[in-house]
Structure 1
Amino acid sequence: MLRDFSKLETFLTVVREKSFSKASAKLGISQPAVTQQIKFLEDYLDTKIVERKKNGIKLTKEGEEVYRIAQKLERAIMNAEKDLFKIINKEVTFVIGASFTIGNYVLPDVLNNIKEAIKNDVLIKVDVSENVINQVLEKKYDIGLIESPIFKEGLIYREWMEDELVLFSNSPLPKYVRKEDLYNFDWICREEGSHTRKLVSEVFESMGVECKSFNVKSEVSSSTAVKLTILKSPKSVERPTVSIMSRYVIAEEVEQGKLYEARIKGFRIKRKFYIAYLKERKHDAFIEKVVDFLLKLKK
């Protein structure tokens, strides 16, 4: 008799993700483990339920029936879990750890929606990516949202939103600037050791641009400080004061006409945001709801 739901959950995930590899990422297990669990179900049922195709997967007739039954079981388990929460009646605050750009400029607009999705209080703690990950591992944060790919054992990582870093100033800029033009600006930079500075330096190095030749007016310790310093800098068409920062950080000021953004001709500076949480909590109802909500935002 099939006693645990985990193999059926793997089957449901494969069907919904339309991919063994995507199901592997979502469940936090290896792809061979996903394949093994599907094979176990097929051996147990003595029938083929999933066929792999070039563009995904396809259910057999028997697979469609198993999918229907598995959905019914899943709903029953979720309803039972809700009833258990009512009995326990625990008053907890769901804690999200977020790196600076995400915590200060992405989450505030959707915080109330997250609270509504899980019917629970939500607290956001803002810190550098590495500290966020460590706090998730120490179970002080329920999930972590990071902009620096710091991967550690015991965690599930889900690719989330795509971010782009752009050149910006309080003086008008052309839509695209040449890499040679970068030497003609005054710069406000993030401090040594920041992930943003490291990423930008790597891109500049690949372009053959020498950051040491820039006229750096100051270095500051946060994205907010960079933005405020640029806003308060003297305006100059001949020699603008510039920096490079996430589009999320400056979006409001660009829309208001207080800041101007530009890209470097022939280059795009992009990065991924990640969602991270403990593997042992992958079945936690709160975490599942928050993660599902956040993943929908990237669309």
Structure 2
Amino acid sequence: MLKDFTKLDTFLTVVRERSFSRASAKLGISQPAVTQQIKFLENYLDTKIIERKKNGIRLTGPGEELYKVAVRLEKCIHDADADILKIINKKITFRLGTSFTIGNYVLPGECLNSLSQVINNDVKLTIEVSRKIVQMIKDRQIDLGLVESPVAEDDLIVREWREDELVVFSNVPIPKILRPEDLYTFKWVCREEGSQTRLVVQEAFEELGVACRDFDVLSEVSNTTAVLQTIKRAKKDTEHPTVSIISHHAIAEDVQNGVFYEARLQGYTMKRKFYIVYHKDNKHNAYVNNTVDFILSGKC
């Protein structure tokens, strides 16, 4: 069993996520595959290691002991991976692609330098809309992508990364909590048809019974940067503010500095996931694996 860490990695993910379904999404494999791997461990050890509960999972006594062993092995493997990359000493330029929101506002400034040290090579960052990043991965133009929308492609591996919240914002003060009827009093800058942000917003408005067709829409734009610039330059009309919806990461600093004002919908939180995406052919690529581990560790 110790020759193949995959099953123990699945076990660690189930324990940390406290859910078979969340572990499935995190690992980019089906839930039955997760269950099968846990069952293999239990058959190998001839004992129950995980009990499913209504509110998650619980480790048995042997499961607790296995978790301690697996954590030690995980650390040794990560340390060994770093040493192996030094031995390879292969000079490459690792190609990382991100969406506009992630690349410009979510990744900390020091992330690329830290990642470069982890893989002992240069990192080139490409920022594009999510669908373009996915296509570039398929075309082998980039090695790994960080995107805002779920991806269903047989030749790609998709892993959940972190959660994002969308908020309403304007260049003039607006109520911090917006009722559905408040939304009709604004002038709107919307994202283009088919964007992930627009899909999340449509879902929220449908649940709240809000009819977007009755909005006063000034324009549709294609990316986060365009949204920011359009709202920043909009006429400061306190009676009928110009608003849009954006990741709270993208405006955090401007909200703190009083440039923008943000609001949330009454009784509804607009949330979405960010995802890590790479080609299945890179499943055993040491540079890709170390980059994924580094990003999932929360250091990036």
Q: TM-score range by the shorter chain?
A: 0.7 to 0.9
Q: Distance in 1 between the 2:237 and 2:63 partners?
A: 70
Amino acid at match of 1:102: I
Partner of 2:91: 91
Cα 1:229/1:52, change in 2 over 3 Å: same
TM-score, normalising length: structure 1: 0.82
Change (3 A) 1:85 1:177: closer
Q: Deviations over 1:103-145 (max 9, x none)?
A: 2211253333322333332122122222222222333222211
Tell me how far 1:171 sits from its aligned partner.
0.7
**Preserved CA contact (<8 Å) 2:185 2:240:** yes
Which piece of structure 1 moves more, 272-281 or 64-73?
Answer: 64-73
Query: Counterparts of 2:36 and 2:137 in 1: how far apart (Å)?
Result: 30
SS at match of 2:188: strand
* Distance in 2 separating the partners of 1:193 and 1:35: 35
**Are residues 71 and 9 of structure 1, via their aligned partners in 2, closer, same or farther at CA, if it must alter by over 3 Å?**
farther
Range 225-234 or range 210-219, more displaced: 210-219
Please identify, of 237-246 and 78-87, the stretch whose mean Cα deviation from structure 2 is larger.
Answer: 78-87
1:83/1:230 Cα in 2 relative to 1: closer, same or farther (>3 Å)? closer
Give CA-to-partner distance per residue, 1:230-283, whole Å, 9 cap, x none.
Answer: 111221221211111111121121111011011122222111111122334334
In 2, Cα distance between equivalents of 1:70 and 1:296: 14
Q: 1:74 offset after TM fit, Å?
A: 7.9
> CA 1:202–1:81 in 2, change beyond 3 Å: closer, same or farther?
closer
Residue identity in the other structure for 2:242? T
Counterpart CA distance in 2 for 1:66 and 1:166 is 39
Tell me, yes or no, if the aligned pair for 1:14 and 1:20 is still in contact at 8 Å.
no
Stretch moving more, 115-124 or 19-28: 19-28
Matches of 1:90 and 1:243 in 2, distance apart?
Answer: 46
Residue correspondence of structure 1 range 259-274 to structure 2 within 5 A: 259-274=260-275
Change (3 A) 1:157 1:68: same
Contact 2:146–2:276 (CA under 8 A) maintained in structure 1: yes
Which whole-Å deviations, capped at 9, do the CAs of 1:131-187 have from their partners, x for residues lacking one? 222222333222211112222113222222211111111111111122112221122
Secondary structure at the aligned position of 2:249 is classed as: helix
Alpha-carbon distance in 2 for matches of 1:208, 1:135: 38
**What is the CA deviation profile of residues 46-71 of structure 1, one whole-angstrom value per residue up to 9, with x for unaligned ones?**
x4373535353546659947974995
1:34 deviates by 4.5
Name the CA shift for 1:298/1:206 in 2 (closer, same or farther; >3 Å): farther
* TM-score, with structure 2 as normaliser: 0.82
**Structure 1 match to 2:160:** 159
Question: Which residue in the other structure is 1:250 paired with?
Answer: 251
Q: Which amino acid aligns with 1:231?
A: K
Distance 1:298 1:270 in 2: 22
Q: Secondary structure in 2 aligned to 1:197?
A: helix
**Matched residue, 1:107:** 107
2:133 is aligned with what amino acid?
Answer: V
- 1:9 CA displacement: 3.1
Q: Which runs of 5+ in 2 are unaligned?
A: none
**Cα separation, 2, equivalents of 1:133 and 1:203:** 25
- Equivalent in the alignment of 1:52: 51
Q: Do 2:162 and 2:274's aligned partners in 1 also have CA atoms closer than 8 Å?
A: yes
Q: Which residue of 1 aligns with 2:3?
A: 5
Are positions 1:292 and 2:293 aligned together?
yes
Does 2:209 match 1:208? yes
Q: Quick one: structure 1 residues 193 and 31, their matched pair in 2 at CA, closer, same or farther if it must change by over 3 Å?
A: closer
Deviations 1:198-247 (A, max 9, x none): 33233223322222222222222222111111111221221211111111
Structure 1 counterpart of 2:224? 223
Amino acid at match of 2:49: V
| Residue identity matched to 2:8 | F
Mapping of 1:31-42 within 5 angstroms? 31-37=31-37
Q: Which letter maps to 2:245?
A: I
Larger Cα Rg: Structure 1 or Structure 2? 1
Q: Secondary structure at the match of 1:237?
A: coil
Counterparts of 2:13 and 2:213, CA distance in 1: 50
Change (3 A) 1:282 1:49: farther
Partner of 2:262: helix, strand, or coil?
A: strand
Distance 1:65 1:181 in 2: 54
SS in structure 2 at match of 1:297: coil
**SS of corresponding position for 1:244:** strand
